Amino acid sequence: MQIWEHWKTVHRHRALVRKYCFRLGLYWQGLTHDLSKYSPVEFWTGAKYFQGDHSPNDAQRKAEGYSASWMHHKGRNRHHFEFWTDYSLDGSGIVGVEMPKKYVAEMFCDRLAASKVYRGDAFSPGDPYQFFLRGKGRRLLLHPATEALLETLLQKLQDDGEDAAFDYIRKEMLGK
C-alpha cells in the first residue's frame, strides 16, 4: 500500500482544482471537490492500487472486474458526466442528461488538474484535449450538448492557453 503517495496525489489534485474553481468564482465547488476520495472505499482503493501516473480505479477494475471506488465516486460528484444519467423519456434506456454549466466548468478544472498531476513536468496544454479525443465516440452517456461544450473548452485551452480558457468560461459560459 502506498498510503502517503496516494494522499499526496489526492491533495495536490484537490488543491489545483480548488485554485481553478476559485479563479472562476466557484468557491463552494472548489472547497468540496472530490471530498469522497477520503471515504474508506475510495481512499483505501487508491492506496492499494496507486500507480502515480493514472487513476487507481483502472487497476482495481482490471484486478476485480469492476471498480467499487469509481462506482462510489461517480455517484457523489456532480462534475462527472456519469452522475448525470437518467432513464430516457421514450423508454429506450439510460441516457446522458445535459449538465449544468457550473459542473461542466468544474469538470474542465478537474481534467486540467488531473493532467497536470499525472503528467508532471511532461504536461502540455493540449493533454486534456488529447485525453478527451481518445474517448470520443465511446462516451455513450455524455449528453451531446455537454460533450460539445467540454470539447470547446479543452480546444480553447490547447489552442489559446489557460488564461484565455478561464476568461472564456468565466465571461461567456458562466456570465461572471
Specify the DSSP class assigned to residue 52: S
Domain boundaries, the chain: 3-173
The reported pLDDT for the residue numbered 123 is 97
The reported pLDDT for the residue numbered 160 is 98
With 0.85 as the threshold, say if the pTM is over it.
yes
DSSP 3-state assignment of 95?
strand
pLDDT bin (cut points 50, 70, 90) of residue 137 is confident
Task: Show contacts of 160-168: CB within 8 Å, 24+ apart.
Answer: 161/125, 162/112, 162/125, 165/108, 166/20, 166/23, 166/24
Q: What is the pLDDT of residues 42-67, one digit of tens each?
A: 999 999 999 888 899 999 999 999 99
Per DSSP (E only), the strands in the chain are 85-87, 94-96
Rounded average pLDDT over 6-31? 98
